[in-house]
Amino acid sequence: YRPQTDSLGFIIGVGVVGNLLISILLVKDKSLHRAPYYFLLDLCASDILRSAICFPFVFTSVKNGSAWTYGTLTCKVIAFLGVLSCFHTAFMLFCVSVTRYLAIAHHRFYTKRLTFWTCLAVICMVWT
């Protein structure tokens, strides 16, 4: 019995299901189609990517006694996706804090300029 595998399985399940439910809510509720919620939707997508793609490999590795059996290329790809997801989350949280600042300090600019397309451009820049 390995409690680590139970914990990782729980994290994977909650990560995928929870972020998927939040994503569905954000897409269906039209009142949430505003700048900070676009960024939250992108954060959910990033967490789903990490939970559904990276964590199962870690789960299997821990289950096998911390032995990586997938090869060097898979190791590099999974490590890259994990690091990309973590940095992406940090940069998106920064973008959310900037939008909150703009909403309070520069409300006119915020309401005129922070459109869907502006948010999409910011999201694309953060992913690159």
Residue ranges per domain, the chain?
Answer: 3-127
**Measured between alpha carbons, how far is 3 from 63 in angstroms, rounded to an integer?**
10
pLDDT in tens, 72-125: 999 999 999 999 999 999 999 999 999 999 999 998 888 888 899 999 999 999
Q: What residues have CB less than 8 Å from 95, skipping those under 6 apart?
A: 39, 122, 126
Query: DSSP assignment, residue 34?
Result: S
**Banded pLDDT at 1 (limits 50, 70, 90):** low
**Measured between alpha carbons, how far is 103 from 35 in angstroms, rounded to an integer?**
10
Question: pTM of this prediction?
Answer: 0.84
* CATH code of domain 3-127: 1.20.1070.10
Burial 76-100 (b: 16+ CB within 10 A, else e): eebeebbeebeebbeebeebbeebe
Burial of 9 (0-12, 13-18, 19+ CB in 10 A): middle
CA distances (Å), 84 to each of 5, 17, 28, 65, in order?
Answer: 24, 21, 28, 26
